[in-house]
Amino acid sequence: MAWPAVLLGPMLLGTLTLLALSPPPVSAADCKQLAEKVRLERSLIARRDLLATSIKQCPKDPEINFMQGYNLERLRDYNDALRYYVTASTLDPKHAKAFFGMGDVYMVTEKVENAVDAYEKGLSIDPGNKRAEKSLESARIKLKAHKGESVSSDEAVTVLFTEKSKDREISPIEATILRLLILFPGKATELPEEGADQLSIMGGRALTSRELKNAVFEVVGNTDDSGDAAANLEISQKRAEAVRNYLIKNCNVDAKKLKVAASGHAHPIVPNSTEQNRKINNRVEFKRLK
């Protein structure tokens, strides 16, 4: 079939335009050089821009995908960071750091069981990684807490002081506060003994630290979905106030650092499908505002 000349001209022009806009093919050696260039770039923003170009030229390079994930994690774009970590681990199933990155994102986003799995996979590849070993230990303790199991003071300290990479956007102390959940039994509003124990450690060693001197946190109360919505909102408010008051009175935390919020049963972290899950959703958590 012969194309009319009136159509052939624009089609040919369009094809040439697309070819001109498309990045030239890049060899594996070129991708390796690009990865090294990204690795040497110290500016977070400049690295972001360089990676945006590199990922287009080397979409199937596991190291560049990993670095893209790592950079996005530092910029707190956790969903996209996880996507690139998964891609890196798929392209190279022996890329231990990609699994460790997945574990870090899962921890920040409170998917602790997934974090344990990711750290374990990474450590099966790189069993000598001390940071990942400590992160896995912390994740396992957090998983115990999420399942409603008792967490000892020593275990709480382990979570608080798990070492993180020195250039992570979120510091170890801040990350711990954001992840620490205080669980309340049933519809109780009085702070349980285990929760007070964890708060004493956190308040004394984290919220009063120099690192978080000017930080402001929101203390958010939550419940499971049983019962009346209005009653649950009131219960969640009292729970948040109980945690805030304890930190102020017993841990010398400045009242200005802690705001109170109530969510009722609007934001479960696991489905309210079992008694164990309901225990997990009856919680107080922390969100950084400043």
The secondary structure of 24-46 as a DSSP string is PP--HHHHHHHHHHHHH---HHH
- Quick one: pLDDT at residue 117? 96
Q: 26-40, 149-163, 258-272 — which one is most confidently predicted on average? A: 258-272
Residue range 165-169: average pLDDT?
A: 40
Angle at 284 between CA 244 and CA 141, to 5 degrees: 115
Asked if 66 and 101 touch (Cβ cutoff 8 Å), the reply is: yes
pTM: 0.53
- Quick one: pLDDT at residue 18? 45
The 8 Å CB, 24+ separation contacts for 246-250 are 246/191, 246/196, 246/199, 246/203, 247/199, 247/203, 247/207, 250/196, 250/199, 250/200, 250/203
- Quick one: pLDDT at residue 84? 94
Asked if 223 and 281 touch (Cβ cutoff 8 Å), the reply is: yes
How remote is the C-alpha of 277 from its chain's centroid?
21
- Quick one: pLDDT at residue 167? 37
| Sign of the alpha-carbon torsion through 230, 231, 236, 239 | positive
- CATH code matching the domain that covers 27-139, chosen among 1.25.40.10, 3.40.50.720, 3.40.190.290, 3.40.1190.20: 1.25.40.10
Residue range 2-13: average pLDDT?
A: 50
Residues of the chain with CATH 1.25.40.10: 27-139
Q: What is the pLDDT of residues 82-117, one digit of tens each?
A: 999 999 999 999 999 999 999 999 988 888 899 999
Asked if 47 and 18 touch (Cβ cutoff 8 Å), the reply is: no
Token output for 287: 């969100």
Per the prediction, the chain carries an average pLDDT of: 81
Q: 35-39, 123-127, 160-164, 269-273 — which one is most confidently predicted on average? A: 123-127
Of 167, 163, 113, 169, the residue nearest 140 (C-alpha): 113
**Eight-class DSSP state of 165:** -
Q: What is the pLDDT of residues 208-221, one digit of tens each?
A: 888 778 888 899 99
Q: Which amino acid is at 111?
A: K
- Quick one: pLDDT at residue 187? 93
Residues of the chain with CATH 3.30.1330.60: 180-288
| CATH class of segment(s) 180-288 | alpha beta
The 8 Å CB, 24+ separation contacts for 149-155 are 150/194, 151/194, 151/198, 153/197, 153/198, 153/201
- Quick one: pLDDT at residue 121? 96
Higher pLDDT, 52 or 14: 52
State the pairing for strand pair 258-262/217-221. Answer: parallel
Tell me whether residue 45 is exposed, middle or buried, using C-beta atoms within 10 angstroms of its C-beta: 0 to 12, 13 to 18, 19 or more: exposed
Asked if 182 and 199 touch (Cβ cutoff 8 Å), the reply is: yes
